[in-house]
Amino acid sequence: MSNIIDATFVSQWDEGNVETTCKVNLETLEVTDIEQSDDSENMIHLLEETVEVTINGKYEIYHPGQKGDNYFIEESDKARLLAQVNA
């Protein structure tokens, strides 16, 4: 099994949501390769950012933390993420 999975990065704005592709490293929990989108150019008020993972029809939402310019799934969510991947 690969240590990298595909996911969706969702930026939730007052003006609407922007969904782009990303990857999650199951060892480091880092969210990488977040696709850039021009859809957010005119949006002003960012409400929340989430990472959505769908594996074998099971859908989960994770709230990543940010360290500098990097995003990480919270360590407290690691067991839930790994259980989802290994189900």
Q: Are strands 70-72 and 58-62 parallel, antiparallel or unpaired?
A: unpaired
Q: What is the pLDDT of residues 17-73, one digit of tens each?
A: 999 999 999 999 999 999 999 888 889 999 999 999 998 888 899 999 999 999 999
User: How far is residue 47 from each of residues 16, 17, 44, 57, measured CA to CA in Å?
Assistant: 10, 10, 10, 27
The amino acid sitting at 76 is S
What is this structure's pTM?
A: 0.90
Q: How many CB atoms lie within 10 A of CB 58?
A: 11
CB-based contact 53:11 (threshold 8 Å): no
